[in-house]
Structure 1
């Protein structure tokens, strides 16, 4: 790789990384259990997966936004259509509208990193550039699919093709200022562990959170234009 320059990664980061990864997985499992086993279903499976995926990078910090903005009433035989698909807390903030982008990036990392390593592809002798490109393209694809699958307006029609594509591309590009910039910073300062190390995935979780910050202005702008949809 090329990215396996772990000599400057402090030893104390390893137990912290594995502890946070364990908490993230437990949180994702807890949210998934609450949605599916306890019948707190949403309007679409896509929205449900976004909340579960949010825990993969936010870890236990995903619990509060899920409880406030993503937890729906339990589905029963007498539950109305509105009650079954809408949280009781009212309108969702712009920060929640950024969660689909974070989830798309998290899944893109899980798919793209092993794919790039297995392919052996490099640019200028390192595979970091290939990794950033592949993760970005995958994230755009996943986010586009989410927009098309979950965005429903009063007419019940999905987000138009062009609007969904524009939202996905603009969101991921803004997101990559934080995520891609973080990866480059780690690499060129020799803080990038190998992908087989838990610290690598922990640092990618940090990068996704940075991406949420840099992507926020674009998500806010798209939300005002009704071209991005928060998970419900």
Structure 2
């Protein structure tokens, strides 16, 4: 990968990455140390992961739509109904579409953290370019993570059939990749893709995830109206 990224982007990238990590830590502390637990760990991971790409902008979003009432008792393991979930978290499913898209963003963020090192270590390429493999691997991982989230949430009373969860994961990630994958290809073929060892690479991937949220918005909105996807209450 050729790197034509301007030098001034490097300090900005590391600053934003640091703020993203601090924001993710702040959400994690609020959930686990302050006992503001959610019904499933999957929901908690989605909110923490949102800060990995939204950075400090995730904090007001979490405070408004994701912060639960402090709980000092142990989490119940019994199956709950949808009304029980709403009562436990202080949330409901009338959350905005932007919030419903966060599981897809979180799945992509985690898929990048797993997939990029995996592809680089494997040395696999298509037509001599590792980017194609990277996009495919990240996409498949993101679908798997998003499907796992939908099923985990369904097991806690917010029923989404297996088939619907598969459809939601595939359609969401495909729409997401219009922005994310398109951004990666744009950077690569314009020689603005830095090595994965540089902070600017990961910052640009954070930008790509946000672009993916935008291109996936219509699909997530449609799925939400059909109750085939679950917002991270």
- Which consecutive unaligned segments of at least 5 residues does structure 2 have? 77-83
How far off its partner does 1:77 sit?
Answer: 4.7
Does the 8 Å contact 1:40/1:84 carry over to 2? Answer: no
Question: 2:102 corresponds to which residue?
Answer: 99
Question: 1:178 corresponds to which residue?
Answer: 179
Does the 8 Å contact 2:93/2:231 carry over to 1? Answer: no
- Which consecutive unaligned segments of at least 5 residues does structure 1 have? none
Task: Calculate the TM-score normalised by the size of structure 2.
Answer: 0.92
Question: In the superposition, relative to structure 1, how do residues 214 and 10 fare at CA in structure 2: closer, same or farther (>3 Å)?
Answer: same
Question: In the superposition, relative to structure 1, how do residues 188 and 42 fare at CA in structure 2: closer, same or farther (>3 Å)?
Answer: same
Question: 1:10 corresponds to which residue?
Answer: 6
Deviation sequence 1:50-85 (CA, Å, 0-9, x none): 000000000000001100000001003599965773
Deviation sequence 1:150-194 (CA, Å, 0-9, x none): 1368xx364211000000000000000000000000000010000
Larger displacement relative to structure 2 (156-165 or 114-123): 156-165
Question: 2:47 corresponds to which residue?
Answer: 51
Question: 2:117 corresponds to which residue?
Answer: 114
Number of matched pairs: 226
Larger displacement relative to structure 2 (157-166 or 62-71): 157-166
Question: In the superposition, relative to structure 1, how do residues 79 and 128 fare at CA in structure 2: closer, same or farther (>3 Å)?
Answer: closer
Question: 2:128 corresponds to which residue?
Answer: 125
Correspondence for 2:154 among 151, 156, 168: 151
